[in-house]
Amino acid sequence: MAFPLYESNLKSLKLLGRGKVRDMYAVDGDRLLIVTSDRLSASMSSFPIRYPTRVRAERNVQFLVQEARTHRSNHLDGAAPESVVKGGDEAAQVKGRAVVVKRLKPLPIEAVVRGYLIGSGWKDYQKTGAVCGIPLPAGLKQADKLPEVIFTPATKAGAGAHDENISYERAEKLIGKTLAAKVRDVSFRLYREAAGYARGRGIIIADTKFEFGTDEKGNLVLIDEALTADSSRFWPADRYQPVRAPRHSTSNTCATIWKPWIGTKHRLRHGSRRK
């Protein structure tokens, strides 16, 4: 297991920004280095909880490599992260937790796919009987499996803000009808493939989100993380029952529940620092 890393510090590359979990550096004019830290994302905040990042990052890379072999449509460059930094200390910071990727134009939406009624979808359904404008049958319970998988896009929020669920029609206005349809169809395919794979191993993927960008030719490309605990809800199938989400979820639900307590302790020990 790699040593815990709350915040990377690579002097040989220009830091472009830090997200709730990942740090991004410029490698050159065409490539970026994305470093997955041990910050744990919960709602709008992140905390220095020692999360098994190396395993998470490696599994994410494995998924993207398989996606590249099958569909050739993700942002991985193929270069070893250690090859673009200098010195043993920097190599240790990126080994097993970073990827070198192509610079692309990110789309201004997140592609959320839901197979179960949970989270903001459940709240929306309680108020309106629909999720992001998609009508659902009456009488559904929290954590129920949906009759059909649904696509519920969201806008990308800036640091310290929540993503906003939007209708498919609004997504069409933001990125165009043709591209919106392609994002939806690819997201459905990725979710169904992953959900089927996981279900055969005793895991339910309740929902997930993907992010996409376009290259210089306008081709759609899968970017950022895919099917991690930061972007998905994973439930043990043997503990699943409607009415409530399984308590032993491997998503970051537990951190969200304990966020007020974690945040207080973190501020006491580390000041008001927030990433």
pLDDT tens-digit readout, 128-165: 999 999 999 999 999 999 999 999 999 976 655 567 89
Query: By three-state DSSP, how is residue 203 classified?
Result: strand
User: Can you give the pLDDT at residue 96?
Assistant: 86
Rg (CA), the chain: 19
Q: How far lies 242's CA from each of 80, 200, 254, 264, 273, in Å?
A: 44, 20, 18, 33, 38
How confident is the prediction for the chain on average, in pLDDT? 80
Q: How far apart are CA 171 and CA 156, in angstroms?
A: 12
Q: How far lies 28's CA from each of 33, 55, 103, 140, in Å?
A: 10, 27, 9, 51
**Assessment of whether the complete model's pTM goes beyond 0.85:** no
Query: By three-state DSSP, how is residue 99 classified?
Result: strand
pLDDT tens-digit readout, 19-57: 878 899 999 999 999 998 887 665 444 445 555 544 454
Q: Give the H or E element holding residue 262.
A: helix 259-270
State percent of the chain over pLDDT 90. 53
Helix (H) and strand (E) counts in the chain: 7, 16
Q: How far apart are CA 179 and CA 156, in angstroms?
A: 17
Strand locations in the chain (E): 14-18, 22-26, 31-36, 40-42, 45-47, 98-102, 105-106, 109-116, 130-131, 134-135, 145-151, 154-155, 164-165, 203-214, 220-223, 232-236
Maximum average pLDDT range among 52-61, 151-160, 182-191, 261-270: 182-191
Q: Which two tokens stand for residue 218?
A: 């306008």
User: Can you give the pLDDT at residue 5?
Assistant: 85
